[in-house]
Chain A
Amino acid sequence: GAGVSQSPSNKVTEKGKDVELRCDPISGHTALYWYRQSLGQGLEFLIYFQGNSAPDKSGLPSDRFSAERTGGSVSTLTIQRTQQEDSAVYLCASSPRGGQGYTFGSGTRLTVV
């Protein structure tokens, strides 16, 4: 597509439930990144994909967080047993290859109540 698309744009979930966040990168971009932005804060790196593999998942905060990418395209970030501290905006970005400036999506605002 023309840009990076994320869905849903907003998600409210109850504490303890699982959530899935989706990212559609720009067509042809091999690198895909997930970041988290808490209210009024900078961007915290979560995970990086090159194709379908994740050479750097060092930013995932706990084993409740996982991500996958299929077909070198769509990626899903899954948060299991959500906690209130998971509330944040989750941003996805893609680039033609790793190490270049990214194009970001508009993010998914997750609120855990």
Chain B
Amino acid sequence: GQQLNQSPQSMFIQEGEDVSMNCTSSSIFNTWLWYKQDPGEGPVLLIALYKAGELTSNGRLTAQFGITRKDSFLNISASIPSDVGIYFCAGHGFGNEKLTFGTGTRLTIIP
């Protein structure tokens, strides 16, 4: 089945630093999504990407849908304490209604 490899698994950064994480797939996806999950909550959609090559920003967040349709990255600029959490990439394959999720990147901000 489809699998998403997400890296890094965890990140320890200082407030104000920029963050970058990415996902790769063994097969083509036609939609890429990035979610953030806070403790005790369900994942919340951050950015959705629908076209190969698409670059989309949402405030300090920027994400891109890779040209090959097999990868995506998420960048967070000038991190702040509320950015702490787990970030998941997710994608829809062609003709596939369900989302396949990556294994997550846990972001921690060091005081």
- Which residues of A are interface residues toward B (Cβ below 8 A)? 4, 31, 33, 35, 41-43, 45, 48, 50, 55-56, 59, 91, 93, 98-99, 101-107
**Closest 10 pairs between A and B when the two form their complex, measured CB to CB:** A104-B42, A98-B97, A43-B101, A42-B103, A42-B101, A101-B48, A101-B45, A45-B98, A101-B33, A99-B97
B92 and A43 within 8 A (CB): no
With A41-B103, A42-B102, A101-B33 as contacts: A31 and B42 at CB distance below 8 Å: no
Known: A33-B99, A42-B101, A43-B88. 9 other contacts (CB 8 A): A31-B97, A43-B43, A43-B99, A48-B98, A56-B97, A91-B42, A93-B42, A101-B31, A104-B43
- Which residues of B are interface residues toward A (Cβ below 8 A)? 6, 31, 33, 40-45, 48, 88, 90, 92, 96-104
CA distance A106 to B39 in the complex (A): 10
A101 contacts across to B, CB distance below 8 A: 31, 33, 45, 48, 99
Can you report 18 A-B residue pairs in the complex whose CB atoms are below 8 A from each other?
A4-B42, A35-B101, A41-B103, A42-B102, A43-B101, A48-B97, A55-B97, A56-B97, A56-B98, A91-B43, A99-B92, A99-B96, A101-B33, A101-B48, A102-B99, A105-B42, A106-B41, A107-B41
A42 contacts across to B, CB distance below 8 A: 6, 88, 101-104
B42 contacts across to A, CB distance below 8 A: 4, 91, 93, 104-107
Among candidates A31, A35, A99, A106, residue contacting B40 with C-beta atoms closer than 8 Å: A106
Looking at the assembled complex, report how far the CB atom of B33 sits from the nearest CB atom of chain A, in whole angstroms: 5
B104 contacts across to A, CB distance below 8 A: 41-42
CA distance A35 to B100 in the complex (A): 10
CA distance A26 to B41 in the complex (A): 17
Looking at the assembled complex, report how far the CB atom of B64 sits from the nearest CB atom of chain A, in whole angstroms: 17
B48 contacts across to A, CB distance below 8 A: 101
